[in-house]
Amino acid sequence: MSVISFMFADEAAGNWKLTGLIVDYYDIARPHPDYPNGVPFMLKDSYGYGIEVEVANVPAGLMFNRTLRGPWGDAALQAAGINLNVNLYPDGTGVVGEGSYYPDVDLIPGTCITTGQIFPITDSFNWEDGQETVFPYVNMIGLPSMNVRAGQTAYGLGVNGSSVFDNWTATPQQIPTPSALTSGIYLSDGTVLSNPASVGGVTAGEWGGYYIAGDDLGPSTMGTNDFDINFMLVWNAIDGPESESGIGDLLGEDEDGDGTDFDRTFGVPFISATYINNTNPLCDITGGAGLMYPVAGDVVDALGGSDALAAMLTGQCLATTSAGVEATCEAAGGVANMVYGQCVAQANGDDFAAGCAYAGVTAAVTQACVDAGGPATAEEAAAVGSPFTCGELAAQYDTETAGDCAAAAALAAASCEDSNGMSLCCLS
């Protein structure tokens, strides 16, 4: 499917020169007779082991690729080597003159890669005016239009008999979904754009051409022109008998053996890839030393989706963290010694000293006790079997040390043996 926006800087009749351009191509997969469940993309190893893995699959009806050419203003067109001289004659005929070059998408010779290219063209065609309408808000498959003048007044303009461009009508209209798209047209997220023609499905947007002409259109909407425009043309088309595009040189004949009149071939230039952080071992889903390159295909989907991947990474994180904690705990001589040692370090630390100097022994010890998981209320104390709350313990420390912060820290860090199991660190 193609969506084209032209801008010409001359009168609405006569010799027109292209000064602005957007070309928007959408690729939709038609059924393949050998792959009823979608065309697979197979990755083979280069070492002779016979390993072959499917890294992507394109099912019929999926709008799987978009190629945007432009927006280009006059300077960008000249830099890219694009030039289009169009003559519209009053008798309803027209030509694309010598010296014209226009972008299209095609296979790179000798490869199976489709890419945007620029071709020299000449052409002759017929054209006609239509009735007043508006520039459409959506393109032919129902996606938002890139035309900043969408919704503004326009007039129909049709072209037929062209050997270069699509045919399109001067009376924009929905048409049946192309017969080859037996699954309709949909996006990768499952959004259905058109149902199959076999059940009455039609295109979401309209096939046809639209133009506006005059001396008061203002500057180009392409963003790089230095002058106002006098004419703007937009058309929407999709492969099929209406546009006579994508169906080969012999209309009505199956030229590529797929059982339909459609024969456009697309070489996918790339597939999706999954980039994995190789600097953080917790992000390495292989369990190895880390991946140096992106992984071919959508690994997230292959692993069951983002929720499953998050659960796996969380599990790896917990496993790694648990192993580290266990090792540290064992090195300290067990859980009790490890917790006691951390408490002593906190009691003798700068944060406790500063907090005590500012708020006093009772407040500082209470907070340290609560932070360590001690009981803040009588109910919590009863639940854990403690004879007092953190606040009550802190008040005792304040009384016994006469409000001396250093003495309170020493009392809190006293060993279980020396404190008869009643120091803050022993209780924690």
| Residues paired with residue 49 on neighbouring β-strands, in sequence order | none
The DSSP output letter for 64 is: E
Do residues 347 and 411 share a domain?
A: yes
Give the separation between CA 269 and CA 107, rounded to whole angstroms.
10
CB 73 within 8 A of CB 19: yes
Does 132 reside within a domain? yes
Do residues 278 and 364 share a domain?
A: no
Do residues 139 and 230 share a domain?
A: yes
When the pLDDT of each residue in the chain is averaged and rounded to a whole number, the result is 79
What is the average per-residue pLDDT within 305-323? 57
Does 139 reside within a domain? yes
- Name the pLDDT band for 338 (thresholds 50, 70, 90): very low
Give the separation between CA 398 and CA 356, rounded to whole angstroms.
11
**Which one of 236, 259, 288 terminates a domain?**
236
Does 43 reside within a domain? yes
Among the listed ranges 139-153, 176-190, 246-260, 316-330, which one has the minimum average pLDDT value? Answer: 316-330
Alpha carbon 114 to its chain centroid, in Å, reads 21
Do residues 323 and 405 share a domain?
A: no
Do residues 305 and 347 share a domain?
A: no
**Which one of 236, 259, 282 terminates a domain?**
236
Does 260 reside within a domain? no
Most confident range, picked from 116-130, 335-349, 381-395? 116-130
CA distances in angstroms from 329 to 20, 74, 323, 338, 342, listed in the order given? 70, 71, 10, 6, 11
Do residues 351 and 297 share a domain?
A: no
Looking at the structure of the chain, the number of domains it has is 3
Does 265 reside within a domain? no
**Parent domain of 57:** 14-236
CB 420 within 8 A of CB 334: no
Do residues 202 and 277 share a domain?
A: no
Give the separation between CA 156 and CA 297, rounded to whole angstroms.
44
Peptide bond into 71 cis (omega under 30): yes
What tokens does 205 get? Answer: 């947007």
Can you give the pTM of this predicted structure? 0.64
Does 251 reside within a domain? no
Span 378-407, pLDDT tens digits: 888 777 777 778 888 888 878 878 888 888
What tokens does 368 get? Answer: 């340290």
Do residues 321 and 393 share a domain?
A: no
Do residues 288 and 148 share a domain?
A: no
Task: Show the DSSP H helices in 41-96 as ranges.
Answer: 74-80
Do residues 39 and 87 share a domain?
A: yes
**At what angle are helices 350-359 and 335-347 packed, to 10 degrees?**
50
Residue 304 reports pLDDT greater than 60: no
Does 257 reside within a domain? no
How confident is the model at residue 128, as a pLDDT? 92
- Name the pLDDT band for 184 (thresholds 50, 70, 90): very high
Alpha carbon 102 to its chain centroid, in Å, reads 29
Do residues 363 and 382 share a domain?
A: yes
Do residues 105 and 198 share a domain?
A: yes
Does 351 reside within a domain? yes
